[in-house]
Structure 1
Amino acid sequence: MERLVCLLIGYIFGLFQTGYFYGKTQGVDIRKMGSGNAGSTNALRTMGIKAGMITLLGDCFKCVIAVLVVRGIYGQSHADILPLLSLYTGFGAVLGHNFPFYLKFKGGKGIAVTAGMILSTDIRIAAVCLIVFIVIVAVTRYVSLGSLVISVLFLVGLVVDGQMGMFGMAQKYLFEMYGIGALFVLSAFIRHRANIGRLRNGTESKISFSKKKNKR
């Protein structure tokens, strides 16, 4: 039951579509601009750096806050599986972000939310993912490629930390945790399937570091 509660809490927090609400303050619907995605990359490309950063931080920290809420609720009663419950919460936030019911289930791709989950799990994994993401985007200018790579790195980091005993959980719970971690990766690849096709064809949009608006 507590797993379902955590998924629900995460989903509720994930419903806060930062890009959508910020766009509304600017008199636009981000879902009708650029790629039609409500995430930080589309906000950056269509509304500028400020919008992109606000969307990124908002989507990231809604996951962090959701995890903190769950840790406050279950910190004593389920301390032995708290890392697992936190991961359920984070995945719930991804689902809420990607499929908000009040926007006809048309949300983002969940990468900024996943970043919040990574930050909540292990600051070292977060640091590695951040560095790798920056390097990939700086070299290739493909945000989608960097996003997919860090989702995989997150799963790898979970397994490494888990097998090293960093989470202090029994092996059966660790395997369950790895399964949820794999769902983060699966979700990222499914939501980026069009991007993957364009990457393979060499037609994926590149991010621009100039002050001019980025191309779609």
Structure 2
Amino acid sequence: MLTRGICLLIGYAFGLIQSAVIYCNMKGVDIRSVGSGNAGTTNTLRALGPKAGFTVLFADMLKCIAAVLVSSVICRMILGDSYSDMKYLLKIYTAAGCVLGHDFPFYTNFRGGKGIACTAGYIVAFKWTFIIGGLLSFLIPFNITHYVSLGSLCLYAVFFIQLIVEGQMGLLGNISQANLIEIYIIAFAMTALAFYQHRTNIGRLLKGEERKTYIWKKNKVD
């Protein structure tokens, strides 16, 4: 339990780095007061353009990758030879902490982003086969519809499904079934949180009122 707690805390600490807020403040914009008010990639893209959007995207991805790397080093030193059985479980605890820090930073009244860019970073750090699934699950629906929310939800759904498939097929290495089940539970909780964070987007999608987002064309901010 100690290592799980360490990973959550490390992830949460890295998640507190609000890339959108920092970058947009440097540009003289309070991202939480424009557009959707969300401190994330999509709102930054709409407000300040593709360069700003991609900067925030990669910064949020990198903070989760960095969190996973730091926690991996620390946990490897603590656990020694038993680390291999815990590796993917501790990675997902770190990612969960990072998403929570990003979504609910204590110093901004728990008002942050929606955690999708953090999750993209986690997918990169988790296992290379998930990168392919992640790219396809986001890019295909987004390029067809231009709905970031739809692509984001597909990203989470496909990740969760692929995680169970690879886990049950033994493709995640020598992991006990108990640890696999715990991984699935954390992944399900993260997926449920993502859907909850997108609840208003889901409502607009169902009504056909969701805003489209374009990378190289001017977007409406409000």
Q: 1:125 is matched with which residue? A: 130
Which of 192, 203, 208 is the equivalent residue of 1:197? 203
Per-residue deviation, residues 84-126 of structure 1 (Å, max 9, x unmatched): 0110000000000000011111000000011111111122211
Q: How does 1:1-216 map to 2 (within 5 A)?
A: 1-76=2-77, 77=79, 78-167=83-172, 168-216=174-222
Extract unaligned runs of 5+ from structure 2: none
**Taking every aligned residue pair, what percent have the same amino acid on both sides?**
47
Deviations 1:28-66 (CA, angstroms, capped at 9, x unpaired): 110001100000000000111011001100111100000
Task: Tell me, in whole angstroms, the C-alpha distance in 1 between the residues paired with 2:6 and 2:215.
Answer: 41
Give the Cα–Cα distance (whole angstroms) in 2 for the partners of residues 4 and 98 of structure 1: 18
The one-letter code sitting in structure 2 at the alignment partner of 1:5 is I
**What TM-score comes out, normalization by structure 1 length?**
0.96
Asked whether the equivalents of residues 50 and 215 of structure 2 are also in contact (C-alpha less than 8 Å), the reply is: no
After superposition, the CA RMSD in angstroms is: 1.2
Bigger relative contact order, structure 1 or 2 (CA pairs below 8 A, ≥6 apart): 2
TM-fit CA distance, 1:209: 4.0
**Residues 119-140 of structure 1: CA deviation (Å, up to 9, x unaligned):** 1112221112212211111111
Q: Distance in 2 between matches of 1:119 and 1:183?
A: 19
Alignment length (residue pairs) = 216
Name the CA distance, whole Å, in 2 between partners of 1:54 and 1:3: 30
C-alpha displacement at 1:182, in angstroms?
0.5
Partners of 1:130 and 1:9 lie apart in 2 by: 26
Shift of 1:183: 1.2
